[in-house]
Each structure stands twice: as C-alpha cells, then as structure tokens.
Amino acid sequence: MANVAHMLGYGWCSGCMSNYVGEDFYRDGETWKANQNGTCNGYKSDQRLNLVFSNWKFAIKNIKYGESVTDEIQPSTLDKGMTRNNDSETATDTSLSSTITFTTSFEQSSSNTKDQSTANSKTFKKTIEKSIAPFSAAEYEVILHKTRTTVPYTATIIAKFSTEFRGFLRWDGGNDSPTSNYHYQFKGSKDRLTFNYRFGDDSEAFYSALKKEIITRSKPWFWKDIITNYPDAQHINRLIDESQYEFTLSGTFEHVAGKRIDVLWKKVSMTKREDHFRRRSRRQCNIIKGTHYARPGPNDAPAIVKFPEVTLVNSEPYREGPHYVENKSA
C-alpha cells in the first residue's frame, strides 16, 4: 500500500530509519504510521505517510459441509422432587401425569460463539403412575436422554475494508517530473498540499474501489501516466485481486434432540414433622411442566469430525514488489 501511495505522489512513504518505501512503519490501532523517530531530513520530513485501514467487515463467499456424526450424549435431569401420600390407604400417584413439553435447540459454534434457535421442537408426553404406601413419600427424578448430530463445515471468508492515505503530495521537480505527484489538480505544485484520500468505504472494499478507478481512469489521479512512468505499477494487480483477501474458517453446527424421558423413583421415610402434619394435609401434587432446551452438558466431549478441505487459489500469485528509494527532496 505504501508503494501505491508513493506512485500517486505522497511524500515520505517510509520511516526515518529506512531509505526504502514501505519500511519502518508501526501500528497504532487501525493506522500504520511511518516512524518519525530517528534522523529525518528534508522538507516536511516530520509529516510522514499514515495508512488507515477501517470499515472492516467479513463476508461468507462459500461454505462446504462435511459428513455428519450422530452420537448419544449424557442424559440430563429435567426435574426432581418428592410426592407424598398422607392418606391411610395405598395410592396410585397421578399427580405427575402432566405434559412435559421439550423443545430442542439449535447450536451454532464458530469462534466460540453460540446461536440458539427454537424453530425445531419435539413434544414428549409422559404419564407417570407410582404406588405409594400410606403415610409415606417417594422421590422422583425426570431424566432426559439426548442425541447430538454434528455437521462440520469449512467456510471461505473474504475480508472487506477501506484504506486511506494521509499525508502531503510531493513536488519533486515540478509538473514535468515523472516523480512528482499525479493528482489532476496539484501535479507539480510547490505547495505540497496535505491531501487525504480513501479507497473504499462502508459499502465497498478498497480493492474494488481501486480497481474501478484504474479501469475507468477516473479522477483525481492520472492513472495512465502512473502506469506509463512506473512499470512496476503492474504489481497493483495483486492488490486489486479479491482472492488475496480470502481465508478459510472451520467449525461445526450442532443439533441436539431429546430421545426419550425416564423417571427414577426412590422411596423415602417421612420425618416426624411431616407425620405430625399428615392429617392436616391431603396428598401433595407435584406438577412437572414447561419447556426445556436440549444442549450438551459440561462433561460432553465434542464429537470427532472431519472438516472438509478447501483450497484457495489466488489468481495473482505472489511476486516480490519493487523497492523504491525514498526521494529526500519531496
């Protein structure tokens, strides 16, 4: 990017510790700044190029799915409690004969993010009957058995951002000099005006904007003259090739579903306090009701999957760019 700025006509496109364009920059947030520490000589040598990269976005260009894996994961407890028979006769407890509505969840994981959806649901109706002896109680635990389907994927992601040049336009010999700036208004100007220019914005990536300007030869730059006077300007082709900004990201989609519901019972003895109040209360009703989300538990290891392979092919292979010597006169 510093080479492009140099071709356009920006002054001091390197840090004070280097004689070559594009060298001795440091990062400050979204900005790469030419280092001013060191011995800097020349007109406006303290006003060096800054490159600002902003409006970052990432878009999915393509996604490839691998073979799914379905496994059973550890059961989870939906509810637990106690039911009592305070009568003098054995009773069949139907207090648990309510409907348990179970809604599956959809879990998407990438970069440790999770997105839950309740679009897919399955309803389980479990009618439970338990004979309970007179003046006794029983504990219950409702267990949900689950299956998990894991689908691996590899996505092709493209980065989008804008690039802004901040600096001044060099004079460097005047209008007829091939190393002066190539702005249609300021070429050859001794004023060395500060001129910030950005390729791209929130809706268009810099490489698309740069490509459009070069093809259409649009202002404010004399693109034809730049390409004529800088044979190495062909290296800009690599900058405007969007395949250079692609990378892959692998992850998994998980779908966890309820398989069945079981109820575990355990007989318990009533305490003296409970026995004291047994004649004052009727048989207790415990109602299990509600919506529950199926999800992996903390002890469920991730499924072992094979991520699909995606090979990125750059249409403009890498070639080392030019090494321009910084012009000390600006």
DSSP string, 260-315: EEEEEEEEEPPPHHHHHTTTTS---------EEEE---TT-PPP---PPP-----S
Per-residue pLDDT, 290:
61
| Beta pairing partners, 199 | 163
d(CA 122, CA 256): 11
Superfamily of domain 2-56+161-243: Proaerolysin, chain A, domain 2 (3.30.412.10)
What is the reported pLDDT for 313?
85
Token pair for residue 90? 């054995």
Q: What is the DSSP letter of 168?
A: B
Contact 24, 13 (CB under 8 A): no
Alpha helices in 138-232 (DSSP H): 206-216, 223-229
Report which of 249, 254, 307, 256 is spatially closest to residue 66, judged by C-alpha positions.
307
Sequence-separated (6 or more) residues with CB below 8 Å from residue 115: 106, 107, 108
Q: Report pLDDT for 119.
A: 46
Give the CA angle between residues 327, 329, 330 to the nearest 5°: 75
**H runs (alpha helix) in the chain:** 2-8, 206-216, 223-229, 236-239, 272-276
For the chain, 330 residues long, give each residue's pLDDT as a single digit of tens. 999 999 999 999 999 999 899 999 999 999 999 999 988 888 999 999 999 999 999 999 999 999 999 999 999 888 888 877 777 776 665 544 434 444 444 433 333 334 444 445 566 666 667 777 777 788 888 888 999 999 999 999 999 999 999 999 999 888 888 889 999 999 989 999 999 999 999 999 999 999 999 999 999 999 999 999 998 888 898 899 999 999 999 999 998 988 888 888 888 876 644 554 444 344 444 445 566 778 888 999 999 999 999 999 876 665 666 666 666 656
Cβ atoms 162, 201 nearer than 8 A: yes
Note whether 3 and 159 are within 8 A (CB): no
d(C-alpha 275, C-alpha 283), whole Å: 12
User: Between β-strands 291-294 and 100-110, what pairing exists: parallel, antiparallel or unpaired?
Assistant: parallel
- Residue 237: HSE in the Cβ half-sphere, 13 Å Cα cutoff: 13
For residue 162, give the 3-state DSSP assignment: strand
Q: Name the token pair of 145.
A: 């058995």
- 237 secondary structure, DSSP code: H
Sequence ranges of the domains in the chain: 2-56+161-243, 64-155+250-294
Rounded to whole angstroms, the Cα distance separating 15 from 34 reads 4
